[in-house]
């Protein structure tokens, strides 16, 4: 009888272990899986805006170099926008209002109709920039007619641009950039409630002005507001400084339950959250918007930049701002992590641990390890590129040290610069396999030491044989 009871108990323990193991594997699968793009998306398209509609299409508009029209394209995929045909939906007036400097169009769908917000100057004064609205009732805004709803009137009749709209709860807001002579030169960010898609109501409030050194290089600038909401917080990114390599993104944060028309509800992050990066060759990232992946599980950062630093003459006359994408990540404290503007080409991903879901592969002083809450995001991002050794392999290139790869030496995994030798290429090449502990994950088998896999032990990465259940778990990762 004792033996029978022991067998029953053991059977129950094994069953519980199996169920628990399966649950852990599922729990480790990231809620926001990897999503990759190939940059740039659109040459000579600045101030990009993308709207994902319920019809399954993404709608994309942006500033064109001639500043003379509004163009639009659509695709069922974000990458597809790079090759989608483009349609001119509206052209500037020959004279009078809306006759010059057609800037920063945004497309929104409100109460069953399409609206485009944009800025424009007049023929008599091309710098008399004001905000205007177009409306269309067509199902497809690329083929429908557009009615001019006129100028968005604000109490100050001054330089104003970059209107965007969003809702928090049941309230629709308009945010924009405008000059107030009483404040000084440059532009500040304003917020107001809307009474219709083309009009504000009540007194606008200034929620930010350029005060930090990084907001005032070349010009005093807060402009291009864009909003994303998550877990009861409202995050507003904005662009700062002149539109050259000093252009960058700042961030304001408010509680969704706060009075957003109280400037005190908004906190400004003291440092820029997205800046030029010499290593990746990206300069002046800014005027962003946010969208989501087709499955709705990943937030996507959309922005423009240039791939060179030095500009001859006025940056506004340089046509080569390009539209780009990359995944937006979130820190453990619930704040967005923009990372760095990644190199042209395939965007990088992160790899979380199967058995330590809060830990990611990252490099620290070039040693590869797993670590939680990696706020220096690019340390934990790698491009999965064709293997340096060929033969169906892949190599993992560092996002913030292009040309540096994960490689093993003495079976320890490091991030090192490709020296071009056959030995390095072999050490930095892996066969990408289905996850050893969960086929939804991924494992990396050494090219030159078959049977050995990248795995963590005491949070450091090694290339080792994996013969136990625990070791297979250590060698399984999820792409995020």
Active site positions, annotated: 47, 223
In contact, 149 and 131? CB cutoff 8 Å: no
Structure token pair of residue 413:
């995994």
The residues, any chain, with a CB within 8 Å of residue 77's CB and separated by 6 or more, are 58, 294
- DSSP state for residue 187 in the 8-state scheme: B
Gap between the Cα atoms of 328 and 98, Å rounded: 35
Nearest Cα residue to 342 out of 422, 274, 255: 274
- DSSP state for residue 377 in the 8-state scheme: G
CB-based burial label for 78 (10 Å; 0-12, 13-18, 19+): buried
Buried/exposed 442-472: b ≥16 CB within 10 Å, e otherwise:
bbbbbbbeeebbbbbeeeebbbbebeeeebb
- Range list of β-strands (E), 242-364: 248-255, 267-268, 283-292, 299-306, 322-330, 336-337, 345-346, 351-353, 359-364
In contact, 256 and 235? CB cutoff 8 Å: no
CB-based burial label for 30 (10 Å; 0-12, 13-18, 19+): middle
Structure token pair of residue 196:
């219709």
DSSP-assigned letters across all residues of 190-255: EEEEEEETTEEEEEEEEEE---SGGG-SSS-BEEEEEEEEETTEEEEEEEES-SSTT-EEEEEEEE
Cis before residue 40, ω within 30 degrees of 0?
yes
DSSP-assigned letters across all residues of 73-119: EEESSTGGGGTS--EEEEE--SSSTT-EEEEEEEEEEETTEEEEEEE
Structure token pair of residue 277:
């990066």
Structure token pair of residue 478:
């999820």
The residues, any chain, with a CB within 8 Å of residue 78's CB and separated by 6 or more, are 37, 41, 50, 58, 291, 293, 294, 300, 325
> Which helix (H) or strand (E) is 6 found in, with range?
helix 2-28
Structure token pair of residue 133:
């609205």
**Structure-token match 């320890």, residue found:** 412
């Amino acid at each position: 009888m004792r033996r029978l009871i022991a067998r029953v108990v053991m059977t129950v323990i094994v069953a519980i272990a199996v169920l628990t193991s399966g649950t852990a594997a599922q729990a480790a699968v990231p809620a926001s899986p990897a999503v990759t793009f190939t940059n740039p998306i659109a040459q000579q398209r600045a101030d990009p805006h993308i709207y994902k509609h319920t019809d399954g299409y993404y709608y994309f508009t942006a500033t064109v170099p001639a500043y003379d029209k509004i163009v639009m394209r659509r695709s069922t995929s974000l990458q597809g926008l790079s090759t989608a045909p483009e349609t001119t939906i509206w052209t500037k007036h020959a004279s009078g209002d809306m006759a010059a400097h057609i800037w920063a169009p945004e497309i929104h769908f409100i109460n069953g109709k399409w609206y485009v917000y944009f800025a424009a100057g007049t023929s008599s004064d091309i710098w008399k920039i004001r905000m205007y609205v177009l409306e269309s009732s067509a199902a497809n805004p690329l083929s429908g007619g557009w009615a001019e709803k006129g100028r968005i009137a604000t109490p100050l009749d001054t330089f104003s641009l970059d209107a965007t709209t969003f809702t928090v709860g049941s309230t629709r807001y308009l945010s924009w950039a405008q000059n107030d002579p009483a404040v000084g030169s440059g532009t500040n960010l304003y917020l107001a409630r809307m009474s219709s898609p083309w009009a504000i109501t009540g007194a606008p409030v200034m929620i930010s002005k350029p005060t930090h050194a990084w907001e005032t290089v070349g010009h005093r600038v807060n402009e291009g507001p864009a909003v994303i909401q998550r877990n009861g917080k409202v995050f507003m990114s904005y662009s700062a400084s002149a539109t050259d390599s000093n252009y960058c993104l700042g961030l304001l944060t408010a509680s969704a339950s706060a009075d957003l028309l109280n400037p005190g509800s908004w906190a400004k992050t003291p440092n820029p959250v997205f800046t030029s990066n010499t290593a990746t060759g990206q300069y002046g990232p800014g005027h962003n918007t946010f969208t989501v992946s087709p499955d709705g599980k990943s937030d996507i950062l959309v922005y423009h930049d240039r791939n060179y630093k030095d500009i001859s003459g006025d940056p506004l006359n340089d046509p080569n701002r390009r539209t780009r994408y990359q995944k937006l990540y979130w820190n453990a404290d619930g704040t967005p992590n923009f990372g760095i503007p990644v190199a042209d080409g395939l965007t990088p991903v992160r790899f979380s641990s199967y058995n330590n879901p809060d830990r990611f592969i990252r490099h620290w002083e070039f040693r590869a390890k797993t670590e939680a809450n990696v706020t220096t995001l690019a340390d934990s991002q790698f491009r999965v590129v064709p293997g340096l050794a060929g033969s169906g392999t892949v190599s993992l290139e560092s996002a913030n040290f292009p040309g540096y790869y994960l490689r093993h030496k003495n079976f320890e995994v490091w991030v090192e610069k490709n020296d071009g030798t056959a030995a390095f290429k072999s050490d930095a090449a892996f066969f990408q396999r289905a996850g050893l502990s969960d086929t939804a994950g991924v494992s990396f088998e050494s090219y030159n030491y078959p049977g050995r896999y990248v795995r963590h032990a005491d949070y450091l990465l090694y290339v080792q044989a994996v013969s136990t259940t625990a070791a297979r778990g250590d060698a399984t990762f999820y792409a995020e």
